């Protein structure tokens, strides 16, 4: 084809051949083709949500791009039904219509020509005139065609509200053919049910649909949103009522009197709970779910704590390798039905657990070792020499209740249940865990209380350590083999608010750079070239962590750069864009939410093993060896694992860690717990690259305490027992770090 004669047409109808780039703000670059024009590139935010195969009517201005050549900077984009044989073939073969690949698309269009889409729409039975299309395949094509038409219509509705069309497929996935009715009739229903739709999005739709600004429906939705946002973003289980009133009033720009009235309405509807504050005068507000979990977890911990132990008591064999506080820990675990073992790196937590487990087994008892993530469970097994499983897997093997009892073969029925990396337990998982354990079994929670709290809401380990009645011991002796580790030395200095020795030694190293872009490039070079070459290791032995998600040194941008180095696009290889992320076979990925139907959980790591545009499916294989399929509409449940947040690295240990330390975004994430957690993720070396002042800020800046009521509830519950029944270790309470 020839290049278009100047002046280029400012309006053009063209088909999307390939997505080249999608930015987080939805700025999109796509390769286009149009009859009579040479292939060209179109770019702009107006292209948000377009997919390969679609035909678009574009309006904009042309320029010459140094890399892409002739480029149309798009100002307006409208989806149209493809009308030419070539456009229809591209549309059907792109994977937009599930069940049709390039070969079948060619066969269908060869048979029906420009009437193809009319036939599919009005005479679908005629599809069986095409070879390889039977009744089942015909039904699949018709259903997929109807879905695509509905999603396209939803996109138009969303664009009319000024909302990203990327949400159309997600809305359809939840509501199906009722999507448009929900969207225009009760948009607040979308909050919490459709991933990516929070109050601001639903509110824009509602207000443009005529919902009054002072509508009780609107204000109630805002109140619930403030509680759910506090839980998801900050890990809070509740908000002080005055803070909730102010936050909601600011969000909806209404008087607090109206907000208070809406709160009363939600309480009456039992959608939220308001009760006396645990921190002093005043009231606090919970969502129904968080309040229920906190109360239930308290009840189960109380039940386990009060129960008579079923463990046969015998003296345990002395181990000459045990330090005195380790011996105390062993006795504590054998005599307390609920207790906590904490300590930093190099203090022998894993060896202590090994001795405790061996002692229980020598008594004739049974032991189940668990951890919140697969990597943490695998590491626990390697360190103790005993089998371990994830908490989720243990709970999945929990048999059904029968007349109030449980079958004895469940792993949760063991005499001793050990949960390692217990700082990762959020309120929901801790509630499910304790509910599965029968009275009389021993629950030993093991973790480093100076690490970050769980990703999900709650602060279970820290709350238990605030309750005097809960037995606990902290291991503080650093063993000689760990004393020589620069990582261990740096971690313990950070824990006490001291700057590690710089630039470092023996496993810890700090490289000073100021410019965030240079920091990002250096991190990528270290991870993909310098460290693998110098250490003679594979690139998969190096993990990049980051304190933040956005910015030049955030996980999103670093992950993009690393993917282009480690798994770039290949000619002829399938790939699929989901929002600003492109997925390819070989990519390292990680679920960012629990999916019990698929058996995958937040924080697992996996590899993309297959990608089928025709079936609109992607297959991943977890590091536990389990293969799982994701529909393209579900890919927002996955994130790339080339660069991950420090929070998501909890429970994992990597041979080599590289991380940026810069004060981007005001350094709001640079806190002591985060830096301590980051450094302790490395086994051999951790290399920090960035600004010295940012490192100092992270060392000295303490974190906030999450709003939780578990400690007070548990203290009141356990404190109700006779004084002689209180099981305290007599070792003091655990300090709260930064």
Decide: 59 and 10 in contact? Cβ < 8 Å: yes
Q: 269, 260, 302, 299: which is closest to 287 by C-alpha?
A: 269
Longest Cα separation, the chain: 94
Q: What gap in Å lies between CA 713 and CA 290, rounded to an integer?
A: 14
- What separation in angstroms does the CA of 402 have from each of 31, 178, 406, 411? 61, 40, 6, 17
Q: What gap in Å lies between CA 598 and CA 629, rounded to an integer?
A: 8
Matching residue, tokens 């350094």: 667
Structure tokens at 603: 């924080």
User: Phi and psi at residue 732, in whole multiples of 5°?
Assistant: 85, 175
Q: Strand 542-546 vs strand 654-661: parallel, antiparallel, or unpaired?
A: parallel
Q: 460, 464, 455: which is closest to 293 by C-alpha?
A: 460
Q: Is 378 annotated as a binding residue?
A: no
Q: Is 410 annotated as a binding residue?
A: no
Q: Which residues pair with 617 in a beta bridge?
A: 612, 631
Decide: 117 and 90 in contact? Cβ < 8 Å: no
Q: 255, 258, 257: which is closest to 217 by C-alpha?
A: 258
Cβ neighbours around 261 below 10 Å, total: 13
Q: Which residues pair with 588 in a beta bridge?
A: 607
Q: What gap in Å lies between CA 705 and CA 406, rounded to an integer?
A: 38
Q: 547, 531, 466, 24: which is closest to 279 by C-alpha?
A: 466
Decide: 309 and 269 in contact? Cβ < 8 Å: no
Q: At what angle do helices 516-525 and 555-566 cross, to 10 degrees?
A: 40
Give 563-579 as a DSSP string.
HHHHS---TT--EEEET
- Beta strand residue intervals within 604-717, DSSP E: 606-612, 617-622, 627-631, 638-640, 643-645, 654-661, 682-690
Q: Is 348 annotated as a binding residue?
A: yes
List residues forming the annotated binding site: 346-350
List residues forming the annotated binding site for ATP: 346-350
């Amino acid at each position: 084809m020839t290049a278009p004669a100047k002046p280029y047409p400012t309006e053009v109808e063209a088909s999307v051949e390939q997505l080249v780039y999608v930015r987080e703000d939805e700025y999109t670059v796509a390769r286009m083709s149009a009859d009579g024009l040479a292939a060209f590139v179109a770019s702009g935010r107006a292209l948000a949500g377009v997919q390969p195969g679609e035909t678009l009517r574009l309006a904009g201005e042309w320029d010459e791009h140094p890399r892409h050549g002739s480029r149309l900077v798009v100002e307006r984009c409208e989806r149209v039904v493809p009308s030419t044989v070539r456009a229809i073939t591209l549309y059907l073969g792109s994977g937009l219509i599930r069940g049709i690949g390039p070969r079948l698309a060619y066969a269908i269009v060869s048979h029906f020509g420009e009437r193809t889409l009319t036939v599919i729409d009005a005479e679908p039975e005629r599809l069986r005139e095409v070879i390889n299309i039977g009744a089942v395949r015909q039904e699949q094509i018709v259903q997929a065609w109807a879905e695509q038409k509905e999603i396209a219509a939803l996109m138009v509705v969303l664009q009319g509200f000024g909302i990203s069309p990327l949400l159309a497929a997600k809305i359809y996935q939840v509501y199906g053919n009722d999507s448009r009715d929900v969207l225009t009739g009760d948009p607040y229903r979308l909050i919490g049910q459709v991933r990516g739709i929070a109050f601001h999005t639903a509110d824009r739709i509602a207000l443009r649909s005529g919902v009054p600004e002072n509508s009780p429906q609107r204000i109630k939705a805002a109140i619930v949103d403030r509680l759910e946002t506090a839980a998801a973003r900050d890990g809070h289980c509740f908000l002080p009522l005055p803070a909730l009133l102010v936050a909601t009033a600011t969000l909806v720009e209404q008087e607090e009197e109206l907000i208070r009235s809406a709160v009363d309405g939600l309480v009456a509807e039992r959608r939220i709970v308001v009760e006396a504050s645990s921190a002093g005068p005043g009231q606090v507000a919970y969502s129904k779910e968080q309040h229920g979990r906190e109360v239930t977890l308290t009840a189960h911990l109380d039940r386990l704590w009060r129960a008579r132990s079923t463990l046969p008591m015998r003296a345990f064999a002395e181990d000459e390798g045990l330090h005195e506080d380790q011996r105390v820990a062993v006795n504590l675990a054998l005599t307390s039905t609920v207790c906590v073992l904490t300590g930093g790196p190099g203090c022998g937590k894993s060896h202590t657990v090994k001795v405790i487990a061996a002692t229980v087994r020598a008594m004739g008892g049974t032991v189940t070792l668990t951890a919140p993530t697969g990597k943490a469970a695998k590491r626990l097994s390697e360190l103790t020499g005993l089998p371990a499983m994830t908490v989720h897997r243990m709970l999945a093997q929990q048999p059904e209740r029968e007349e109030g009892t449980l079958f004895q073969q469940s792993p949760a029925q063991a005499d001793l249940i050990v949960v390692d990396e217990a700082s990762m337990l959020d309120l929901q998982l801790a509630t499910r865990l304790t509910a599965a354990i029968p009275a009389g079994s021993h629950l030993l929670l093991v973790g480093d209380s100076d690490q970050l709290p769980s990703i999900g809401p709650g602060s279970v380990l820290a709350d238990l350590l605030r309750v005097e009645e809960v037995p606990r011991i902290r291991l503080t002796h650093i063993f000689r083999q760990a004393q020589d580790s620069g990582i261990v030395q740096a971690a313990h200095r950070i824990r006490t608010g001291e700057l590690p020795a710089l630039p470092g030694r023996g496993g810890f190293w700090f490289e000073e750079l100021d410019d965030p872009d240079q920091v990002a490039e250096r991190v990528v070079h270290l991870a993909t070239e310098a460290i693998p070459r110098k250490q003679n290791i594979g690139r998969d032995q190096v993990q990049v962590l980051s304190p933040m998600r956005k910015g030049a040194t955030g996980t999103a941008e670093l992950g993009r750069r690393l993917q282009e180095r480690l798994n770039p696009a290949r000619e002829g290889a399938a790939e699929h864009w989901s929002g600003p992320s492109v997925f390819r076979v070989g990519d390292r990925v990680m679920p960012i939410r629990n999916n019990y139907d698929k058996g995958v959980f937040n924080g697992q790591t996996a590899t993309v093993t297959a990608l089928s545009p025709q079936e609109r499916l992607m297959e991943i294989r977890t590091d536990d060896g389990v293969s799982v399929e994701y529909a393209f509409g579900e890919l927002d449940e996955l994130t790339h694992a080339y660069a991950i947040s420090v929070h998501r690295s909890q429970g994992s240990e990597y041979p080599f860690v590289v991380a940026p330390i810069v004060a981007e975004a005001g350094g709001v994430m640079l806190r002591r717990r985060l830096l301590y957690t980051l450094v302790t993720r490395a086994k051999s070396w951790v290399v920090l690259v960035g600004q010295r002042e940012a490192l100092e800020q992270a060392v000295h800046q303490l974190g906030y305490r999450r709003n939780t009521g578990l400690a007070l509830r548990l203290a009141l519950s356990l404190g109700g027992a006779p004084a002689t029944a209180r099981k305290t270790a007599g070792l003091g309470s655990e300090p709260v770090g930064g």
